[in-house]
């Protein structure tokens, strides 16, 4: 009965609920399949034992039926010979054997019921095991795919962040370089005609101021 209760528990197990609660779904699913395989082996063993016991009980019943028939034949022989005392003793043996026959018959019937229950449990467990293996393969594949997708998404996020950072650094470098180029361009720009005349005018002013200073010094 304990074995059948364990089998019933396995048959009622909801894999989806178990997977959601498990920290390691793949390991848990493999353990469930292993448990079911172990229970299946035990049920097969119990079925074989139950059938063997049933056959043994039926054999014992048949043996005692034969013995009851043999003692009945002896009782009839004793009556034919006028030996009622022997006939009574033989009939007592007949009754004893018939009681044994009834007992073994009842046990054999009970054993047949148990064997049938075990056979039915075995068939259900075999079917459940087959379905569970397929379901586990699907769930394991989904779990692995989810982990792969998660890692890919995280990788894309990291790559995106790195790319954005690199792009910002590149933009900054471009701006600095542009500023440097602009400054260098200003330094390297050829002198214009206006610039030349402005320089001449500046030189005249400088000369005029110089002559003025010299004139004052001469007067003194």
CATH number at 65 reads: 1.10.287
| Structural domain containing residue 54 | 2-167
32-60 pLDDT, tens digit per residue, is 788 888 888 888 888 899 999 999 999 99
Evaluate if residue 92 carries a pLDDT over 80.
yes
Choice between 119 and 23, residue whose per-residue pLDDT is larger = 119
Residue 179 lies in a domain: no
Residue 110 lies in a domain: yes
Confidence of residue 144 (pLDDT cuts 50, 70, 90): confident
The CB-side HSE value for 15 (13 A sphere, CA atoms) comes to 23
pLDDT value of position 185: 53
User: pTM for the complete prediction?
Assistant: 0.53
Residue 46 lies in a domain: yes
Choice between 157 and 189, residue whose per-residue pLDDT is larger = 157
Choice between 4 and 172, residue whose per-residue pLDDT is larger = 172
* Average per-residue pLDDT for the chain: 76
Residue 33 lies in a domain: yes
pLDDT value of position 171: 64
Structure tokens given for 178: 């542009």
Evaluate if residue 2 carries a pLDDT over 70.
no
176-189 pLDDT, tens digit per residue, is 666 666 555 554 45
Residue 180 lies in a domain: no
Residue 98 lies in a domain: yes
Residue 208 lies in a domain: no
The structural domain count of the chain equals 1
Choice between 4 and 205, residue whose per-residue pLDDT is larger = 205
Residue 217 lies in a domain: no
């Amino acid at each position: 009965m304990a074995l059948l209760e364990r089998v019933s528990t396995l048959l009622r197990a909801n894999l989806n609920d178990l997977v959601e609660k498990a920290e390691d779904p793949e390991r848990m699913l493999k353990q469930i399949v292993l448990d079911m395989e172990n229970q299946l082996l035990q049920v097969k063993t119990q079925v074989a034992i139950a059938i063997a016991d049933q056959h043994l009980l039926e054999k014992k019943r048949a043996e005692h039926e034969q013995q009851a028939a043999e003692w009945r034949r002896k009782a009839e022989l004793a009556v034919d010979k006028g030996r009622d005392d022997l006939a009574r003793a033989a009939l007592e043996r007949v009754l004893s054997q018939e009681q044994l026959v009834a007992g073994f018959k009842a046990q054999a019937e009970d054993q047949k019921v148990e064997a049938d229950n075990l056979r039915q449990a075995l068939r259900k467990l075999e079917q459940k095991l087959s379905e569970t293996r397929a379901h586990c393969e699907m769930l394991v594949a989904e779990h692995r795919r989810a982990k792969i997708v998660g890692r890919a998404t995280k990788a894309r996020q990291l790559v995106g962040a790195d790319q954005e950072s690199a792009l910002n650094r590149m933009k900054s470098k471009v701006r600095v370089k542009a500023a440097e180029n602009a400054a260098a361009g200003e330094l390297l720009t050829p002198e214009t005609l206006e610039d030349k005349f402005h320089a001449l005018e500046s030189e005249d002013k400088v000369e005029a101021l110089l002559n003025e200073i010299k004139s004052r010094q001469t007067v003194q």
